[in-house]
Amino acid sequence: MNIICPNNPPISDGSNLSPSARQLYQWIELYTAQNGLEQPKILSICRSKAHQKQLQDDWDAGKREGLRVRPADNSYHIPDKFGLCHAFDLANSDKWLRMVGSAVVQNVPGARWGGTWIPQDLPHFDMPPGIMFTIRLV
């Protein structure tokens, strides 16, 4: 896993990703390798409730550097009762995120990509708890 941490350090090394979110990340790795694209770069995975609240407070106060949308009150970035996170943000370019995000939505049942939301959150990918799928490449 290629992890970078500019202003939003993850509180895990990727080992806290839920099995379904890890499977989604692996699908993205395989898809990009198969299509000769840059590999995914993790921007953030898990966030503490306090960090998520701070991001919300910063947004509300107009401090929005590095944020695309107001962070959600209930986020899959916050560890569940088992300490697992169901979301990750990627630091690749907008063009890359649009290409890969579209492929995810079309080919990975249950996966969610923030590029389909209003307002868009291109870096965000998540897999709601309990969803598993068979990795197959297009």
Segment 90-116 mean pLDDT: 94
User: Which one, of 71, 25, 20, lies nearest residue 50 by Cα?
Assistant: 71
As a whole number of angstroms, the distance between CA 120 and CA 58 comes to: 19
**Element containing residue 49 per DSSP (H, E):** helix 49-60
Summarize the confidence of residues 92-106 as an average pLDDT.
Answer: 96
Residue 24: name the closest of 106, 82, 108 by CA. Answer: 108
- The domains of the chain, with CATH numbers, are 2-126 (3.30.1380.10)
What is the C-alpha to C-alpha distance for residues 136 and 68, in angstroms, rounded to an integer? 31
Cβ-based neighbour number of residue 23 at 10 Å: 19
Q: Please give the mean pLDDT across all residues of the chain.
A: 81
pTM: 0.79
Say what the alpha-carbon torsion angle 65, 4, 138, 132 is, to the nearest 10 degrees. -90
More confident residue, 114 or 15: 114
Residue 117 confidence (pLDDT) above 60: yes
Q: What is the per-residue pLDDT across 13-55, written as a single tens digit (0 to 9) for each?
A: 567 889 889 989 999 999 999 999 999 999 888 888 888 888 8
What are 59-75's pLDDT values in tens digits? Answer: 788 887 766 666 666 78
3-state SS class at 90: strand
